Amino acid sequence: MIKNDINLNKINFFSIQELISSEQPLEFYVAPYQRGYKWGVSEIEYLLDDINEIKENEKYCLQPLTVRWNSKNWELIDGQQRLTTIWLILTILKNDFNSPTSSIFSLNYDTRPSTRDFLNNDIASTHFDGANSSLEDIEQLWDTFISRENNNLKNNIDNFHIFQAYYIIKRWFSTKKYPIEISTFREKLEKQTFIIWNPVEIQGKQDMEDYFINMNAGKIKLTSSELIKALFILKIDDSNDSWDIKEFKKKELANEWNQIENELQNKDFWFFINNSNRTEYPTRIGKLFDLMTENSDEKNDLYAYHLISKYPEKYSWENVVLIFNKLKEWYEDIPTFHRIGFLINSGTSTLQNIHQETVGQKQSTISTFLSDSIISDFKKFTSLDDLNYETNPEMCQKTLLLYNILLIEEQFPGQRFPFDHYQEKEWSLEHIHPQNPRGFKTIKEIKIWMEDYKKRMEEIRGVAEEEEKELLEKLKTLEIKINENPKDENSNISKKTLDDINEFVEQYKDIFELHGIGNLALLDKKTNSKIGNKSFLEKRSVILNPSPPPTTKNDIKDKPYIPLGTLHNFTKSTTNEIDNLQMQFWSLKDANDYKNKISKVLDSFLTENPIEQ
């Protein structure tokens, strides 16, 4: 075995030196279910460059070797490509540069007996010529090798790829722009390059093959966070502290880790900093590692791991804790929570950007930065009158999201806007007064719609007399056509009448401000689909009585969240009317009062937009 103080039966970190410095070299076995060696120029040279660029006192960590002890050697389940390449590098250093490597672990390929013989006899002991060969030259060298006596049996794709890799490594050593100090490179490879040793216990050949298939399908793997945790533990183990201090620090790290992960499982906290319900983070602490390493590509789950392994002093556990504490401070301060939550959940900014822009800043400076970020986004329009469902629905939704957030701040100090509800559901803009009668089917629905429009006609101001007269005439004509339909209110309306109504709505939508912000409310799509193009009264009934009390977990999950501003719309809390408040329809006055309320609540972020009186 390796050194007596090294435990091969648990997940651990080993340097390459520890793998090769043993009385009896380690033996690895590659089972038939494994695919052959396939690394090409890019993978091999990337590894060589990484090793060569390791700085003094740095550690370079390869991805895990997943292995199983089978009573006589270590079965290599995952990591065959990396380990074979390391074996080839060590062999070339020993054969070509007289490297004082005492021993090299052995690789036994069960896929083809000729591969085992090729590695142990031809590659391990032969000084092939042609160090500066191109890929085309390597193919010719291969043909020459195979043509020799008794070598035809070794002519297979696995052996060719190993042969090619051998020459790619030799060429790298001989053609580098700057001469490589071989002894320095060997030190970096053996003492500063580490592998993650991941032993597993699996019984039976079929179970082993199933495990391999699942691992390569991505169903079984060490997460990036688990690998990073192992790096932090390795750093503690490598310190000069006494054994008891090391154990204390490891327990402290484990406790802090669990505390942070538990805090991030809180939906209020998580969706404040994360703008989707994605599954890229098997453990949510991974979000902090991406923040620390400025990883903007969250789909590259090993980006943070590679940087932390390469620069352990720069990316330390202490820095992770500092970042978490900073996020926790932001979370506990309600105004900061709301402004960051808005910027992230509206897609205006990212946590990465906010974190980078506020590093080392005091709270007052951070608050100013957040407000300025929102103001900058809202400068895209000059007045709330410019917001229109048809031309800029995204900005309409942003405006209503911010309005609902700040409305909670104004009316329920200390309460938080539930960003988890906002991300776990799909949201849409609901027209408070129905904008599209295409969904109407019965005479009754159309008559209710007609009554609403007749009442709205009484409120129209600022329209030229001739245009108003024309509008009234068209509305009367439309009413006559509606009355020509069957008397039974439950009867279906004719397609011709429906087309006439659609034409009327399309022609006069701007006069009735159907798509303006004063006729829009924020609503989840499921509830929105329930109320469709119903009248204001019918919508009000659904909004105020959305569903029966939940009895199961699924009921609780599916229970709609009605934003405070939307509730105010259907209770007309924003309408400045005391004596003659009507609940039959959403009037133009209701819409104007609502728009003024939005302007008042958002006033500090709409500095260019005076509040309408």
pLDDT of 229-261, one tens digit each?
Answer: 888 887 888 788 898 998 999 899 999 999 999
What phi and psi, each to the nearest 5 degrees, are found at residue 222?
-70, 130
The whole-number pLDDT of residue 70 equals 82
What are 379-417's pLDDT values in tens digits?
A: 888 789 889 898 999 999 999 999 999 999 999 999 999
Q: Is the dihedral of CA 496, 497, 498, 504 positive or negative?
A: positive
137 in Cβ contact with 130 (< 8 Å): yes
- C-alpha closest to that of 170 among 93, 100, 118, 105: 93
Structure-block tokens of residue 590: 């209701």
Residue with the two structure tokens 């390569």: 216
State how far the Cα of 509 lies from the Cα of 391, in Å rounded to an integer. 14
* 327 vs 177, more confident: 327
Residue 21, C-beta contacts closer than 8 angstroms, at least 6 positions apart: 2, 3, 102, 103
- Which of 316-320, 464-468, 478-482, 516-520 comes out lowest in average pLDDT? 464-468
The whole-number pLDDT of residue 215 equals 44
- C-alpha closest to that of 233 among 176, 312, 127: 312
Quote the Cα angle for 396-398-404, to 5°: 100
State how far the Cα of 393 lies from the Cα of 408, in Å rounded to an integer. 23
* Burial call 425-457: b when 16+ CB within 10 Å, e when fewer: bebbbbbbbbbebeebebbebbbbbbebbeebb
Residue 449 has pLDDT above 60, yes or no: yes
State how far the Cα of 351 lies from the Cα of 146, in Å rounded to an integer. 58
Structure-block tokens of residue 168: 């790619």
The whole-number pLDDT of residue 547 equals 66
Q: Can you give 429-493 as a three-state secondary structure string?
A: EEECCCCCHHHCCEHHHHHHHHHHHHHHHCCCCCCCHHHHHHHHHHHHHHHHHHHCCCCCCCCEC
The whole-number pLDDT of residue 278 equals 55
Q: How many CA atoms lie within 13 A of 124 on its CB side?
A: 14
Residue 509, C-beta contacts closer than 8 angstroms, at least 6 positions apart: 435, 515
Residue 118 has pLDDT above 90, yes or no: no
Say what percent of the chain tops pLDDT 70: 82
What are 98-114's pLDDT values in tens digits?
A: 777 656 888 888 766 77
Residue 298 has pLDDT above 70, yes or no: no
Q: How many CB atoms lie within 10 A of CB 83?
A: 20
pTM, two decimals, is 0.70
State how far the Cα of 405 lies from the Cα of 340, in Å rounded to an integer. 11
What are 569-589's pLDDT values in tens digits?
A: 999 999 987 666 778 778 888
169 in Cβ contact with 39 (< 8 Å): no
The arithmetic mean of pLDDT across residues 115-122, rounded, is 78
- AA identity, residue 339: R
Classified as helix, coil or strand, 132 is coil
Domain locations in the chain? 12-218, 225-386, 430-605
What are 23-34's pLDDT values in tens digits?
A: 677 888 887 777
283 torsion bin: left (phi>0), alpha (psi -120 to 50), beta (else)? beta
544 in Cβ contact with 533 (< 8 Å): no
The whole-number pLDDT of residue 5 equals 54
- Which of 159-173, 438-452, 455-469 comes out lowest in average pLDDT? 455-469
State how far the Cα of 70 lies from the Cα of 204, in Å rounded to an integer. 10
- Of all helices (H) and strands (E), which one includes residue 78? strand 74-78
The whole-number pLDDT of residue 370 equals 96
